[in-house]
Amino acid sequence: MGAASCSSSVQHLFLPCLLLVFCFASAVSQQQQSDSCSSAGVAVAHLVPFNSSAFRCLTVWKQEDFVLRYKNTGESQWSFILSAPDKGSYVAVGFSGKGLMVGSSAVVGWSSGGKGTVKQYYLTGKSPDECYPDKGRLTLVKNKAVAVSRSGRLYLAFQLYTDLPQPHLIYAVGPEGNLPPADATLPMHRSMHSHAFNYTSGMASNSGGSGSGGFPPERRHGLLAMMGWGVLMPLGMMAARYFRRVDPYWFYAHMAIQVTAFAVGIASAVLGFRLNDNGLKNVDVHRALGIAILAMTSLQVMAFLARPDKTSKVRRFWNWYHHYIGRAAILVAIGNIFLGLHIAQEVSAYIVSYGVFVAVWVIAVAAFEMNRCYSDDD
């Protein structure tokens, strides 16, 4: 009787909760309508200052739900309508010859208090003070640009005078709830994406430039640094400190992991020195920390070559040096990797993935240290 009564009570509590969740989800979905290429036309077609029928349509940035419609609407005239969720931020689409943000011109739109604003910007760098409003190489058709917010989405519509728009499109979205001020200075974008675009076929492919969805040099540099300095080096430390009971295999494992980490780290450093910072903030700090990591790991390699014999009187001091310089290099590397991810405005998947690794590594080190303490007490 008791178990049956308990089960009945759970069911009576569960069903109302499930109903409330369903009602809440329905309300949210009604408030935040989505836009898709399967819908019949543009939801704000009556507010767009040009005929928007029979436009090509494609989802150009799934992560941010960016939908682009475009059409060659006249001789040397192209029309565009970009749709994205309205989160109290600006949306932008830039046109580039090589897929690079720097040197491109962008059309940026936002809506505040029911009033939309559309401006062209010339991007000479990646910092806000290097993005100049009302300048650029695009020839916008006068009185044919509008930004409209409807049903939780922002629509940016404009026309260009050009025989054929440049072949690389760059998309950006501003920080949520942070619109440009009265002087139209753009806050640093929250995220960006780019691709090469074929206007005839409507096909998009990964751009080779910075900010693409593929593997530009900045991302290759970051992934190599993360793997070499940020993953392999901490694992190599664990092999030497916590597995000495399996002598001499711990030594071979430690050597193999750390040599691989050093080689991968050198590759990341070479790539990093070849990158253009383009005025990004904190790049000098990131570079200085990277040089410090490179110096400390190089000293570790030199120290191994000059390692004294176990019976030597200076072996104790060598051990102190080797242990503490190695630990310092690991801690600086972890911090610098997170700084680099922040500077590059990387997608959250990379930040979360590396954060999970660091958390697991810290927990594992704490567990091994506790085990060492208890073993010493025994």
Give Cα 68 to chain centroid, integer Å. 21
Architecture label for domain 56-196: Sandwich (2.60)
168 among annotated binding-site residues: no
* Residue type (1 letter), 105: S
Instruction: Report the pLDDT value the prediction gives residue 19, as an integer from 0 to 100.
Output: 40
Instruction: Report the pLDDT value the prediction gives residue 176, as an integer from 0 to 100.
Output: 93
pLDDT digits (tens, 9 = 90+) for 112-171: 998 999 999 999 988 889 999 999 999 999 999 999 999 999 999 999 999 999 989 999
What is d(CA 281, CA 28) in angstroms, rounded to the nearest whole number?
Answer: 38
Q: For the chain, which residues score pLDDT lower than 70?
A: 1-33, 206-216, 276-281, 345-348, 376-378
Nearest alpha-carbon partner for 325 in 356, 349, 302: 302
Nearest alpha-carbon partner for 230 in 328, 309, 330: 330
Task: Give start-end residues of each CATH 1.20.120.1770 domain in the chain.
Answer: 217-377
Instruction: Report the pLDDT value the prediction gives residue 116, as an integer from 0 to 100.
Output: 96
What is d(CA 329, CA 333) in angstroms, rounded to the nearest whole number?
Answer: 6
286 among annotated binding-site residues: yes
Instruction: Report the pLDDT value the prediction gives residue 127, as an integer from 0 to 100.
Output: 87
Architecture label for domain 217-377: Up-down Bundle (1.20)
The alpha carbon dihedral of 159, 162, 164, 169 has a sign of negative
Task: Give start-end residues of each CATH 2.60.40.1210 domain in the chain.
Answer: 56-196
pLDDT digits (tens, 9 = 90+) for 180-220: 999 999 999 999 999 888 887 777 776 544 443 445 677 88
Instruction: Report the pLDDT value the prediction gives residue 155, as an integer from 0 to 100.
Output: 97
Nearest alpha-carbon partner for 104 in 30, 25, 148, 165: 165
Instruction: Report the pLDDT value the prediction gives residue 311, as an integer from 0 to 100.
Output: 81
Contact between residue 208 and residue 251 where contact means Cβ atoms under 8 Å apart: no
